[in-house]
């Protein structure tokens, strides 16, 4: 079981002891991979986000994109007293889904069954959605696109937030099939 601890500022769950747990199917044992905290903020969530943002193993480029995006967020949010990192954490929390629908085949029919999401999966889904919709935006650089998506998610707007709302609507519409949960 993945042990999680709650972040004091955002209420999001972080991995305990800086480990990612991978299930090995052959010999039924968990293998641990140590996650290093990022150099600037010493935060595991930042490292997870940068790992999702990374292409072709270019981690330094991903860090530069993320830090530049936070600088842009800091410039745009001068009137608030929150730091850019706090704005980013609030944005991630705003796009984090609580439930999802999974297909379940029962008696020849396929039902969309709403299920709760594991806390580590919630965080992963929210980060991946934010990055996906940032990449799809129009803009000059990835840092600008990511900063725009962070600001929209912070204000509860944008593609990633709409995806979360859509997922919740689907789960609500299929609430009658919750008894098929597995």
Looking at residue 132, the DSSP 8-state letter turns out to be: H
- Give pLDDT tens digits for 111-131: 778 888 988 899 999 999 999
Label residue 150 by pLDDT band (50, 70, 90).
Answer: very high
**Residue-level pLDDT at 17:** 57
> What whole-number distance in Å separates Cα of residue 158 and Cα of residue 110?
31
Q: Is 27 exposed, middle or buried (0-12, 13-18, 19+ CB in 10 A)?
A: exposed
Taking 50 as the threshold, does the pLDDT of residue 84 lie above it?
A: yes
Q: Which of 1-15, 65-79, 151-165 has the lowest mean pLDDT?
A: 1-15
pLDDT value, residue 6 = 54
CATH number at residue 31: 1.10.455.10
φ/ψ of residue 82, rounded to 5:
-80, 150
Residue-range definition of the domain harbouring residue 62: 4-180
Helix ranges (H only) for the chain are 44-53, 59-76, 84-94, 119-136, 142-154, 158-173
Predicted local confidence at residue 2, as pLDDT: 44
- Count of structural domains within the chain: 1
132 touches 141 (CB < 8 A): no
């Amino acid at each position: 079981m993945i042990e999680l601890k709650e972040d004091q500022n955002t209420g999001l769950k972080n991995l305990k002891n800086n480990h990612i747990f991978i299930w090995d199917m052959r010999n039924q044992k968990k293998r641990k991979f140590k996650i290093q905290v990022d150099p600037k903020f010493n935060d595991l969530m930042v490292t997870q986000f940068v790992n999702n943002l990374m292409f072709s193993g270019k981690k330094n480029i991903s860090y530069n994109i993320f830090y530049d995006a936070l600088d842009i967020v800091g410039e745009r949010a001068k009137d608030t007293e929150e730091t850019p990192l706090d704005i980013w954490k609030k944005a991630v929390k705003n796009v984090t889904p609580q439930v999802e629908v999974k297909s379940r085949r029962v008696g020849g029919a396929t039902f969309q069954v709403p299920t709760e999401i594991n806390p580590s999966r919630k965080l992963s889904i929210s980060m991946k959605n934010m990055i996906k919709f940032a990449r799809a935006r129009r803009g000059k650089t990835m840092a600008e696109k990511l900063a725009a998506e962070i600001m929209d998610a912070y204000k509860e707007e944008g593609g990633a937030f709409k995806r979360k709302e859509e997922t919740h609507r689907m789960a609500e519409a299929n609430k009658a099939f919750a008894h098929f949960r597995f």
